[in-house]
Amino acid sequence: MKKTIAIVEDDPDQRENYRDAITKKGYLVRAYGSRAEALAGFEQALPDLAILDIILGDEIDAGFELCRDLLARRPSLPVLFLTERIDEIDKISGLRLGAWDYLPKPISLDYLAERIASLLRIGSQRDGGATAPSPSAQRIGDLVLDQDALLVSWKGQSIDLSGTEFRMLAKLVRAPGHAVSYETLMNATMQSLVTNNTINTHMRNIRKKFERVDSSFSAIKSEYGYGYRWVGS
């Protein structure tokens, strides 16, 4: 069954370009030009993944509002912001809302298709309720990092990380006990225009997700001015 992708973009040319490129990859695409149109569509059926611009017509934060609405309905829904608003505060706002990725315009349509495929793969693994980790899963103390299934567990409990958070954690635990630089963590995000503040926001989000299943979690340590260190055993 085809996965459904929702695109919310007020520029008609960009909207059609995205629709055509994603449709050619085998997805069912529903495209909306405004927040009101998107909300009406979401009332009928939720997509498997949503791509949101932030500014829609005269509504400068419409994409953020849509993200809140979608995640209130389905917290595990992959949401990707695709926008010209690339200020640090906007990226941080999007990540705090629970978006899985934040991409700047302009973007290669092939790259966009790859990100969609990657996020859907992660979502599918989670929705499928993975049980035992694969034989290649990495185990560091109470942490299990399953690169094949893109899943993480801590003390036997699943941790729901976004694709970007997963890649950053994988970099962090590659050498337990050793400090990992901001630059290395930036590369792990696979995004452009990433700053130290963006990495700090990601790390706060990762910590919070671990703390939800273990209030005493303290395996991620900050290395002031340099990066982070994994000290879990």
pLDDT single digits (tens) 77-115: 999 999 998 787 887 788 778 888 888 898 999 999 988
Residue reference for tokens 């809302």? 97
Provide the token pair at 114. Answer: 């790859």
Q: Is the pTM here over 0.85, yes or no?
A: no
Average pLDDT (56-71) is 94
pLDDT bin (cut points 50, 70, 90) of residue 61 is very high
Lowest mean pLDDT among 17-31, 129-143, 194-208, 219-233: 129-143
What does the mean pLDDT of the chain come to? 88
| Parallel, antiparallel or unpaired: strands 49-52 and 79-83 | parallel
Q: Spell 17-44 as b/e; 16+ CB within 10 A means b.
A: ebbebbeebebebbbbbbbeebbebbee
pLDDT bin (cut points 50, 70, 90) of residue 135 is low
The yes-or-no verdict on residue 203 having pLDDT over 80 is yes
Coil, strand or helix at 103: strand
Q: Which domains does the chain have, with CATH numbers?
A: 4-126 (3.40.50.2300), 134-230 (1.10.10.10)
